[in-house]
Each structure stands twice: as C-alpha cells, then as structure tokens.
C-alpha cells in the first residue's frame, strides 16, 4: 500500500513535533511547514495526500491558504483538516467555507485526530485506506498486498497493484492517461503518458485467466474506466 503523506502546517514547534510523532506512529509520512509560504513550497515540490492546517499562522492565515489551495486546479482536491483553538460555531463555519474537509479544536487527543485523518482520507482518497475492496469477483487487500480474481490469487507488480486499487475505489469514472499518472504514479513524476498503456496491458493480462480483464475498459478518445457492469 502507498503510504499517505501528511503535510503539517503548524508554527508552534512543540505541537508540530507532537503531530509528526502521532502521524508517523500511525504509518503515515509527515512533511512539515511552519507557515503558508513554506507550505506552498512543499506543495509545489509534490502534492501531499492530506494537509493538517493551523488556523493561526504568521503572515498568511490558514483560512487564506485553504482558499488559495481550493482556487487552484492542481491543489483543489487535497483534503484539508483545520486545526485551531477557535471553538465557536461561526469560526468552524468560516473554516469549512474556506474549503476545509474537517475541523478539530485544540486541545485534542491524538486518537481523535488520527480517527479524523483516516475518515477524511477514506472519504476523499479511498485508495489510501487499508480496507479490503471487493467488486465483481475481484478482491484486493491493501494491508496484505494480495489480490484474487474469480477466487484465484493473482500476482501483480507494485504499479499494477496501485492502478487496480485506484480503479476499484473509483469505479465507473473515466480517467485520462495524465490523470492516472498524477493519481497512481504521483504528482511531479515525469514519465511518458504511454507508460500507462503498458501497465494497463499488464493488469489485463493478470486478470485474463479469470475473465475479469473486461472490467478494465478503454474509452476511446478519453482514457480508461473500471466497470463491473
């Protein structure tokens, strides 16, 4: 399974270290930024899978950064959890209207924070979840990295595994080669779009014996879709 990268945007070093410790204890990768400018620099290098964003930051506030991220096509879909000492309802509404997916008030327990992170990742980026996915005779377990099709175990390379996991958590949607590169290979990974075709072919070959290779469909002029219909 691909480890989710969590960007921690928090200007208090002690809190940032505590967040990083808890995030890494849960198997995620922590990336740190002390202000909005540093956060944007990190995001420019590579998109995180989720942002823990403090409301009160030096310079540009967390709310302003959230609005900026939501206004950019490249960053608009990054899940954001706002961290703040502000607990009043109007402040929560302001944070959510700025684009936050969730809102947690300080002080909070590490257990609650991790539960919120997992819930948002499951909702916004389901391929980051460890939950077993089962569709139309194909079963995939991210935790054990095992796949079965028609009741028989099949061997997949790491890229084919990630590709199938992404497809199975985004059924019926059509994705272009460029979108699949961003979602499966990762933002800022520079490979030819035709690389996608090679791995699609390998995935279909692995599923062929079960007859379920038909689920991986080519949509002429658009890209690929996973459909069990």
pLDDT tens-place values along the chain, 229 residues long: 457 889 999 999 999 999 999 999 888 889 999 999 999 999 988 888 899 999 888 888 888 999 999 998 888 888 999 888 776 677 777 778 888 888 888 888 888 888 888 888 877 666 666 788 999 999 999 878 899 998 899 999 888 998 999 999 888 999 999 888 877 876 555 667 788 999 999 999 999 999 999 999 999 999 999 998 7
Domains along the sequence of the chain with CATH: 5-128 (3.40.50.2300), 133-226 (1.10.10.10)
Residue the block writes with tokens 């079965």 = 148
d(Cα 208, Cα 206) in Å, to the nearest integer?
A: 6
What sign for the dihedral angle of Cα 2, 112, 77, 52? negative
């Amino acid at each position: 399974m691909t480890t989710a990268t969590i960007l921690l945007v928090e200007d208090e070093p002690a809190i940032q270290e505590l967040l990083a410790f808890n995030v890494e204890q849960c198997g995620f990768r922590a990336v740190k930024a002390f202000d909005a400018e540093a956060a944007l620099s990190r995001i420019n290098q590579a998109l995180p899978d989720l942002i823990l964003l403090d409301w009160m930051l030096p310079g540009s506030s967390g709310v302003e950064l959230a609005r900026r991220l939501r206004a950019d096509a490249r960053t608009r879909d990054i899940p954001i959890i706002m961290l703040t000492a502000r607990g009043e309802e109007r402040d929560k509404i302001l944070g959510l209207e700025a684009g936050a997916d969730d809102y947690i008030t300080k002080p909070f327990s590490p257990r609650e924070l991790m539960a919120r992170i997992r819930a948002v990742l499951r909702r916004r980026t389901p391929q980051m979840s460890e939950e077993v996915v089962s569709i139309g005779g194909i079963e995939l377990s991210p935790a054990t990295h095992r796949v079965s099709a028609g009741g028989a175990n099949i061997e997949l390379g790491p890229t084919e595994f990630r590709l199938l996991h992404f497809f199975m958590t985004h059924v019926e949607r059509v994705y272009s080669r460029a979108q699949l590169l961003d979602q499966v290979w990762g933002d800022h990974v520079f490979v030819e779009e035709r690389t996608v075709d090679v791995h699609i072919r390998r995935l279909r070959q692995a599923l062929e014996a079960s007859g379920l290779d038909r689920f991986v469909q080519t949509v002429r002029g658009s890209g690929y879709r996973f459909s069990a219909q």
